[in-house]
């Protein structure tokens, strides 16, 4: 085969690679957009719907359960501290006292001293992680609900936002380029951030920068084309796995349930019942704590909701 024939064959092969790369880029770009759209719109809307229907009930149930745990632990610590006090001397003296003096000694003058500040500090540290978890979940629910209200008031149409973001993906997504530069990666992630924030103006601004930018590491050799082709094939497989994981896990899998009115109502009724039960349990255990404090003349009020800004 002559050199001219060999060059012609390589050119033909490169042309076929270009067509294949173009096809693979389009497939991958579509999948990349699908993943981001699932995460930032579909799943977010499902989470919002779930929060609107059940969020308040679930938060209140968790809040009461945490209060119950704190109260039970407080009772346990008070009893432990009472038992640790040395009362033997008082008991000896009581046997020799007159009846009226016994009544006096039953007041807080001779009661064991309980350091309620110490107990409060212990409770605060022991339940710090659970307090933080509850606060985080509550904040997330409130953010979703507030976002929902804002979207309703704006009545925003996201069609243009989706179209522009798709264009940004096609032009400069790092997974679609052979060797993206730092600047190119920053450009794309700026568009991604604007898309996640649903900021159309910022996305348009970033798109203009992307349009004016020329890709620096263009394909030049046969090896470059083959390398990019292989990269695209691998990324398509990875993206398929990512999408599969999203659609086979929560919140996406809750979509069908949320559309079933009967199941939603039944679940809500169950949550209401659970809420009433834990509320009743908390009232009882709190009464037990009050009686224990009264028995030991503990006027210091332990704040079981100190770290919970929602109470």
> pLDDT tens across 158-204, in order?
999 999 999 999 999 999 999 999 999 999 999 999 999 999 999 99
Residue 303 has pLDDT above 50, yes or no: no
Query: Which pTM was predicted?
Result: 0.74
Q: What is the mean pLDDT of residues 66-76?
A: 95
> pLDDT tens across 198-241, in order?
999 999 999 999 999 998 888 989 999 999 999 999 999 999 99
> pLDDT tens across 27-51, in order?
999 999 999 999 999 999 999 999 9
Q: How far is CA 283 from the centre of its chain?
A: 31
Q: What is the mean pLDDT of residues 252-277?
A: 96
Whole-angstrom Cα Rg for the chain: 33
| pLDDT of 132 | 95
Average pLDDT, the chain: 86
DSSP state of 303: -
Neighbours of 19 (CB within 10 A): 10
CB 207 within 8 A of CB 167: yes
CB 94 within 8 A of CB 105: yes
Residue 1 has pLDDT above 70, yes or no: no
Residue 108 has pLDDT above 90, yes or no: no
Q: Which of 176, 142, 168 is nearest to 25 (CA)?
A: 176
């Amino acid at each position: 085969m002559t050199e001219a024939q060999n060059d012609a064959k390589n050119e033909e092969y490169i042309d076929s690679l270009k067509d294949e790369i173009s096809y693979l880029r389009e497939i991958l770009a579509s999948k990349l957009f699908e993943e981001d759209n699932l995460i930032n719109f579909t799943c977010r809307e499902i989470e919002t719907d779930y929060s609107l229907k059940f969020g308040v009930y679930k938060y209140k149930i968790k809040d009461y359960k945490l209060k119950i745990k704190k109260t039970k632990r407080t009772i346990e610590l008070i009893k432990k501290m009472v038992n640790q006090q040395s009362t033997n001397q008082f008991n000896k003296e009581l046997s020799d006292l007159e009846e009226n003096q016994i009544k006096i000694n039953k007041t807080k003058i001779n009661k064991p001293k309980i350091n309620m500040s110490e107990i409060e500090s212990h409770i605060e540290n022991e339940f710090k992680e659970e307090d933080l978890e509850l606060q985080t979940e509550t904040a997330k629910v409130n953010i979703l609900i507030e976002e929902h209200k804002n979207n309703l008031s704006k009545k925003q149409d996201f069609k243009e936002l989706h179209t522009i973001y798709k264009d940004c993906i096609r032009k400069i997504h790092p997974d679609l380029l052979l060797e993206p530069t730092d600047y190119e990666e920053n450009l794309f992630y700026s568009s991604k951030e604007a898309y996640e924030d649903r900021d159309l103006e910022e996305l348009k601004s970033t798109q203009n920068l992307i349009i004016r930018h020329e890709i620096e590491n263009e394909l030049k050799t046969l090896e470059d084309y083959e390398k990019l082709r292989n990269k695209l094939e691998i990324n398509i497989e990875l993206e398929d796995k990512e999408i599969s994981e999203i659609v086979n896990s929560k919140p996406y899998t809750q979509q069908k349930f949320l559309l079933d009115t009967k199941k939603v109502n039944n679940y809500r009724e169950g949550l209401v019942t659970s809420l009433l039960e834990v509320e009743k349990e908390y009232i009882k255990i709190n009464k037990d704590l009050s009686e224990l404090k009264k028995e030991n003349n503990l006027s210091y009020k332990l704040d079981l909701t100190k770290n919970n800004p929602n109470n």
